[in-house]
Structures are given as structure tokens and as C-alpha cells.
Amino acid sequence: MNTILKGNICYSRSPQELATVENGYLVCEGRTIRGVFPAIPDAYRDFPVTDHGDCLVIPGLCDLHVHAPQFVFRGLGLDAQLLEWLNKYAFPEEARYLDIEYADKAYSLFVDALIRGATTRACIYATLHAPATELLMEKLEASGLVTYVGKVNMDRNCPEYLREPGAGEAYRTTRSWLERTRGKYVNTYPIITPRFYPACSDELMVKLKELQTEFGLPVQSHLSENRDEAIWVHELCPGAQSYGDAYNRFGLFGGDGTPTIMAHCVLSEGAEEALLKDNGVYVAHCPQSNANLSSGIAPVRRFLRNGIRVGLGSDVAAGCHASIFRAMSDAVQVSKLYWRLVDQRDAPLTIPEAFYLGTAGGGEFFGGEPSGGEFFGKVGRFEEGYEFDAVVIDDSGSASPDKLTIEERLTRVVYFADDCCIVEKYVRGKKIKPPTQGGRP
């Protein structure tokens, strides 16, 4: 449908520059943005206008890394480090998704929270259970959000109750899932998902590459999150020059025809950092989870300076907030610690830069040709030709006796991270309807 939103409009022109238009008009034709204007152009005079008064209008947020089955235990067990946390909390919870009734209840809570928040696009991990993964995809499709969903693959170095019998069985189950879901949905797409290299045998990695090539899918996994994990990878794959090279030797680390997201990259440097850049891999920066699990601080300023693609991830449940606003403020805060304690050559991130990462930066991943053949337009900015993802925010509850600029108001929205101030949300030009029941996310 055609629509015009009137309000105080804010989006990223570049990582350093915000575009702001007070009392402006954001024009959408079908699902495509035609531009932001101080007055309605004659060509669009017949489009219906929704006047949002003094509200802010921003692009939808993009979450490049979130674990749907972990949503229900977020905020628990965060005194542990990564490998202990996985074995004590994450793996036992994910095993419960063999029970489709439990999966139905738990995934409903996750999707309802995602609808209420400012996220419009997300890359999501499910579990290794294909029926529950398909149930999650059904719920996400009904939500109207645009998502990639991955059936997780693991066949070694994990509890027996959450381990696929072998590479061959993992391949057959994943292939059957892909055949059932390929082209089935409008807004929900599969993504190849090795859990992380230590949990996937070399034989399974070869099989996943075969599926990636045959179905033309992107890839998501974890990279250089924790020192013990990185040492473990070196022991498992002594011939690899880096953790990233352990994926790259199987063709699952970016490059032509393999769009890839790697979450964390806390310890990426040198040859691995060069490989990230050369292969066009997207880094999903997950600052809250990296702090909660004592993993460290990703060198995001250096990544940006060196031309590496970076977006943000909530990483629920190691991150206990599903809000990408919260990821923005956390990204700024941990960058200050990195600058103060690690390398004073790397200046802290600014709010405009963090906002860029959570909108246009992560949005870049959603351009291209997804499984099913429908072309994704550009996402994350209010520029002509971009797909219309937008969020309307009523921030009057944090009013000031002084008149604040649009950028100052956006800064407060980022730091307060209050999903309750969201008035409307649009994805691909369609208004998202919030759930009628359920608690606050």
C-alpha cells in the first residue's frame, strides 16, 4: 500500500552522519521508499497521510544474532563463562524443543516480544529439531517480520541428548527441512547454521557446504568469542591459520555466493581480521553477551576503520535484552572501556555510529537474493529505493523542560531502550499488528 508518515524523521546517511527532518514526510510507494521531504511532492498528493505529531520516525532495527530457544531463560546463569554456560544452561534448555508443545509456548513468547520491539529484521538460531524450527518459521511468517532462521547443526563435542547421530543424519535432516521450507514463505528464509566449529565434524562441515551451494543460502555461526574456545579450535584444527580459517577451508566463511554472519569476533585480529574483510563477512557485534560471559570487547572501531562490515546482535540469552537499542548503548559503553583499558588509539563509538550499526549496518546483510527467489531491496535508511521498514516512537514520557534536538531525543531513546514507547511499526510497507495478549517483553 502507499502511505506517508509525518513526524520528526531520523536516519543514517553514513556511520558518522545522521539525517534529521523536523515535521517531515516519509513517502512509501508499495513497499519502497520514495524519499523524505519537507512538504509532500505533487506526485504523491493522493497518498494517505498519518500525522504522528511530535513522534520520532526511524528505520526498523536489525538483529544479526539471536537464539530464539534461549529467550525464555534470559537473565539466568550469567555468572558463568561461555563453555560452562552452554553446558549448564543453553544446551539443557534447547533439548526441550524436542517437545513440540513446549516449543509452541516458548516460541510464541519470543515472537510476541520481537513484534513489540523495534526490530523489523533478524537472523535467528533455532535448535537442531526440524519440527520445532518449522514451527518457529510459521510463527515468524505470521508476524510480518523479515527473518532468516537456522536449524542448528551439531554432531560432536556437545551433550549426547543434543547431538545428531552423525554427519550423515544431520545432513539428511537439514536437507529435508530445506526442501520443505524452500520458497514456502514470503518473509521467512532458511540459513545454514553450523553451531560453531567445535560442535561440527569436518564431515558435517563438508555436507553443510554442499547444501549451502545447492540451495544458494547464507551462513551464520560463531567466531572467536572466548579464549578457551579459540584454543579448543586450534587443537581441533591445527592446520588452520585462525579460527576463521577453520570455516574458510570448508567454504563457509563468506566470499562469492556465500553471504556470512559471524557473531562476536572478540579476539579477531591479524590474518583472521584480513580474512573477514577479504571475504566480506559480516560481524555481529554482541556487546552485552560478551560482557555477561566475560568474553571481552570486540575491536569494533578497528573493524570499521579497516572496512569490515559490522552490525549488532542481541544474542539472547547470553544477552538478556532483546532490544537492539540496548545493544547500541552497550556498544558505545564497552567501546569506552576498550579505549580506556586496551587501546587508546581506538576512540569510543558515538551514538550516531551505534545507530548506524543497528540500522543500515546490519541492514546491508538483507540485500540480495534470498532462498525462494524474491529480491531483497536495500534496508536500514530512508533513501529512495530502500525497502520501507520504519518505527514510530513516542518519547514524550522522557520530556525535558528544554527543547531537545532530534539527535538528542534519539540518544535518549537509545539509552532508555523502552519498547513501550513504540507507536507503530512497518515492515516492507505493511503495518505490523502487535499481539493482543501477553506480557511486556
Task: Name the burial class of residue 320, with classes exposed (0-12), middle (13-18) and buried (19+) by CB atoms within 10 angstroms of its CB.
Answer: middle
Band the pLDDT of 436: cuts 50, 70, 90. Answer: low
Band the pLDDT of 370: cuts 50, 70, 90. Answer: low
Q: Containing domain of residue 201, as a range?
A: 66-366
In a domain, 393, yes or no: yes
- Shared domain for 235 and 161, answered yes or no, is yes
- Shared domain for 219 and 295, answered yes or no, is yes
The pLDDT assigned to 379 comes to 95
Mean pLDDT computed over 237-262: 96
- Shared domain for 38 and 171, answered yes or no, is no
- Shared domain for 53 and 74, answered yes or no, is no
The pLDDT assigned to 439 comes to 38
In a domain, 436, yes or no: no
- Looking at 334, 366, 398, the residue that finishes a domain is 366
| Percentage of the chain modeled with pLDDT above 90 | 91
- Shared domain for 339 and 232, answered yes or no, is yes
CATH of the domain at 263: 3.20.20.140
The pLDDT assigned to 420 comes to 85
Measure Cα distances from 334 to 60, 100, 129, 166, 292 in Å: 24, 39, 35, 40, 12
Q: Structurally, how many domains does the chain consist of? A: 2
Do residues 24 and 64 make contact, with C-beta atoms less than 8 angstroms apart?
no
Mean pLDDT of the chain: 95
- Looking at 331, 366, 401, the residue that finishes a domain is 366
* Alpha-carbon gap, residue 403 to 441, rounded angstroms: 30
* Alpha-carbon gap, residue 262 to 255, rounded angstroms: 13
The pLDDT assigned to 437 comes to 44
In a domain, 427, yes or no: yes
Band the pLDDT of 438: cuts 50, 70, 90. Answer: very low
- Shared domain for 307 and 417, answered yes or no, is no
Query: Model-level pTM greater than 0.85?
Result: yes
Give the CA count within 13 Å in the CB-facing half-sphere of 129: 21
- Shared domain for 158 and 228, answered yes or no, is yes
In a domain, 354, yes or no: yes
Reported as a single tens digit per residue, the pLDDT across 393-430 is: 999 998 789 999 999 999 999 999 988 899 999 999 99
- The amino acid occupying position 70 is Q
- Shared domain for 169 and 296, answered yes or no, is yes
Do residues 226 and 193 make contact, with C-beta atoms less than 8 angstroms apart?
no
Do residues 336 and 308 make contact, with C-beta atoms less than 8 angstroms apart?
no
Measure Cα distances from 393 to 9, 65, 182 in Å: 10, 24, 35
Measure Cα distances from 435 to 66, 188, 225, 441 in Å: 20, 19, 35, 11
* Alpha-carbon gap, residue 272 to 244, rounded angstroms: 6
**Nearest CA to 318 among 93, 168, 4?**
93
Reported as a single tens digit per residue, the pLDDT across 81-108 is: 999 999 999 999 999 999 999 999 999 9
* Alpha-carbon gap, residue 245 to 325, rounded angstroms: 32
In a domain, 440, yes or no: no
Place of cell 531537545: 404
Band the pLDDT of 27: cuts 50, 70, 90. Answer: very high
Reported as a single tens digit per residue, the pLDDT across 187-198 is: 999 999 999 999
In a domain, 239, yes or no: yes
- Shared domain for 166 and 37, answered yes or no, is no
- Looking at 366, 391, 411, the residue that finishes a domain is 366
In a domain, 373, yes or no: no
- Shared domain for 247 and 110, answered yes or no, is yes
- Shared domain for 264 and 115, answered yes or no, is yes
Mean pLDDT computed over 239-253: 97
CATH of the domain at 402: 2.30.40.10
Reported as a single tens digit per residue, the pLDDT across 173-231 is: 999 999 999 899 999 999 999 999 999 999 999 999 999 999 999 999 999 999 999 99
The pLDDT assigned to 164 comes to 95
In a domain, 441, yes or no: no
Do residues 88 and 79 make contact, with C-beta atoms less than 8 angstroms apart?
no
- Shared domain for 330 and 394, answered yes or no, is no
Task: Name the burial class of residue 42, with classes exposed (0-12), middle (13-18) and buried (19+) by CB atoms within 10 angstroms of its CB.
Answer: exposed
Within a 10 A sphere around the Cβ of 70, how many other Cβ atoms? 22
